[in-house]
Amino acid sequence: MKRRTLCGVLALASVALAALAMPTAFAATYPEKMVKVIVSLPPGSGADTTARFLAQHLAQQLGQPFVVENKPGANSFIAAKAVVDAAPDGYTMFVASNTPMVTNAAVFKKLPYDPIRDFTPVASIARFPMIIVVPASSPYKTLAELVVAMKAAPGKLNFASGTPSYQIAMEQFHERNGIKGTAVNYKGTGPAITDLAAGVCDYSIAEVSSVLPLIHGGKLRALAVADSQRHRELPDVPTAEELDHKGYEAYAWTGVYFPAKVPKEIAQRVGDIVRSTLNGSEGMAFIQKMGGTVFTGSAQQFTDFQLAEIEKTKRIVKIANIPVE
């Protein structure tokens, strides 16, 4: 009886040890097939271009294809849900912007996913400052002139809002200056900026890569960079800080996620490659060309950053009385 009991205990111990070793062994051979990289924005967007750059380098270093799959629409719900519903085996990856991972948590009462509990943070990628812009034909040559006009006629001027993130960034500026504008919401940054350049709207704010071509092309006028330092592509455009709007910053960011409960060894392995790629000369040059700044750190630092961003965004939504759907 004692021998049988001892054998049983040893058998259970062997199973337990094998189970503990499985994630490590699995990670050592990962990946053994194609990895799907989901993006919530259409081809040609900043997040899509970044995802394809990282996919190429991950494929080179891990020996299996990383294939980008675009799932735009529905406020990024479709893409986020596709990641959440995928098996947590490392074969579905999410290159996400701040919209599904932060903004949605602040502007929707109920989401079909939880931006914290349903994902494994892998690595942050980059930050892209936002620029306050007006049409090139606008009578407002400076940010101060725009603010004065808005104070003189509260709510009369309208702003093109390509995403909820941009609306929140603009409303934050309004709240800090005691001014009001009327949001004109668009289904995407492209249509919003196109209408702004045509003079349909009076002003807007958008991530630098989406407005830079139109600024350089003479279709838009940049009034201020919503960052602590001037942008290298717009050396003559002052920062909000320089214009006495101290502490006002607005930026878009991107990061890499897996579904929740993915083996941590896989997340660590992919995260290490993403960080080394971005911090290398080619990665730095790629992000700079897109108008951004490499923004990497540990998975825990990324988690802490995301939590802080959610709380900050919720606070802005409440103060600015932005409707929550």
> Which of the four pLDDT bands, split at 50, 70 and 90, describes residue 9?
very low
Q: Quickly count: other Cβ atoms within 10 Å of residue 280's Cβ.
A: 13
φ, ψ of residue 129 to 5 degrees: the values are: -65, 150
pLDDT in tens, 185-209: 887 788 999 999 999 999 999 999 8
Question: Environment class of residue 284 by beta-carbon count within 10 Å: exposed (0-12), middle (13-18) or buried (19+)?
Answer: middle
- Domain limits, the chain: 34-128+252-319, 129-225
pLDDT in tens, 60-106: 999 999 999 999 888 899 999 999 999 999 999 999 999 999 999 99
pLDDT at 287 over 80: yes
Q: What predicted TM-score, i.e. pTM, was given to this entire model?
A: 0.83
* Per-residue pLDDT, 43: 85
* Same fold across 34-128+252-319 and 129-225: yes
* Per-residue pLDDT, 18: 46
Asked if 135 and 195 count as a contact pair (C-beta separation under 8 A), the reply is: no
**CATH class (in words) of the domain with range 34-128+252-319:** alpha beta
Residue 308 CA to residue 304 CA, distance in Å, equals 6
In percent, the amount of the chain with pLDDT more than 90 equals 74
Given CATH 3.40.190.10, say whether it is the number of domain 129-225: yes
Residue 265 CA to residue 268 CA, distance in Å, equals 5
